[in-house]
Amino acid sequence: MEFIIDTADLKAIRRIVEFFPVIGVTTNPTIISKEKTDFKQLALDLREAVGPDKQVHIQTTSEKAEDIVAEAKALYDLVGGEFYIKIPIGAEGLKATMMLKGSGIGVTMTAIHTPQQALQAALAGATYVAPYVNRLDNVCADGVGVVADIVTIFDAYGLDCKVLAASFKNVQQVHECALCGGHAVTINPDLYDQLVYHPLTDKAIVDFTADWKSVYGDKGSLDLI
């Protein structure tokens, strides 16, 4: 299962890349806008922050297929490396995805809210589909259920497209996506810390430290061997 960082906050990206086994960064126009900075420089900085060997996903702001393709090529030339153009699902987006086949530019079809949208995206040639788990949960539409249905359909037809679940508000949603065979998740930096938090873990570490110090004081094992 792949983990990706859903932010354009460069400091947060550098920290998560250092401490967690992530494979890249995703953004959308809302995430980019939050940084209130020069877009071209931010796109370059995203590549630098995540590293040359990881994925960068940037979303198109164009509506027509031809414009989406031109934008994808320009961003690919700018950012380099393993680059994915995020394209919202729709007729123009599907056309753009089919036009990009063989270009070397990956497509992440985004704003997916139904399994049939995901199926069209996969058949058009998208590398990833991004269903919005929490936004579906917010309207009582079972976000993880949609992810599970997409996984089932892709498996049934042997489609070479990965489910990159997005829009998470808690670890339980991530956990359920892992259980149903979701191939990837993109989550915000705060959730990464929650993934590895447990009060019993904290207590265990406090107890280990206290027991050690009760015999060896401030000396570490390196001081003793």
6 makes contact with ligand E4P (CB under 6 A): yes
Residue 26 lies near ligand E4P (rule: CB under 6 A): yes
| Nearest to ligand E4P of 139, 210 (CB atom) | 139
Q: Where are the beta strands (DSSP E) in 89-197?
A: 106-112, 128-131, 162-165, 184-187
Confirm or reject binding of residue 110 to ligand E4P (CB under 6 A).
yes
What are the phi and psi torsion angles at 184 (to 5°)? -155, 155
Residues 62-91: x where in contact with ligand E4P by CB under 6 A, - otherwise, as a string: ------------------------------
Nearer to ligand E4P, 34 or 219 (CB): 34
Q: Which is nearer to ligand E4P, 94 or 208 (CB)?
A: 94
173 binds ligand E4P (CB under 6 A): no
Kind of pairing, strands 24-26 and 184-187?
unpaired
How is residue 69 written in tokens? 């393709």
8 Å CB contact between 106 and 127: yes
Residues 6+ apart with CB under 8 A from 42: 8, 32, 35
- In the complex, least distance from residue 178 CB atom to ligand E4P, rounded to whole angstroms: 16
Q: Tell whether residue 167 is a contact of ligand E4P (CB under 6 A).
A: yes
Minimum gap (Å) between residue 43 Cβ and ligand E4P = 16
- Please check whether residue 127 is in contact with residue 162, taking contact to mean a CB–CB distance below 8 angstroms: yes
> Which of 14, 15, 95, 135: binder of ligand E4P (CB under 6 A)?
135
Q: How far apart are CA 111 and CA 122, in angstroms?
A: 14
Q: Among positive and negative, which fits the CA dihedral 132, 138, 141, 145?
A: positive
Which pair of tokens denotes residue 218?
A: 């401030």
Asked whether position 130 contacts ligand E4P by CB under 6 A, the answer is yes
Shortest CB 73 distance to ligand E4P, Å: 21
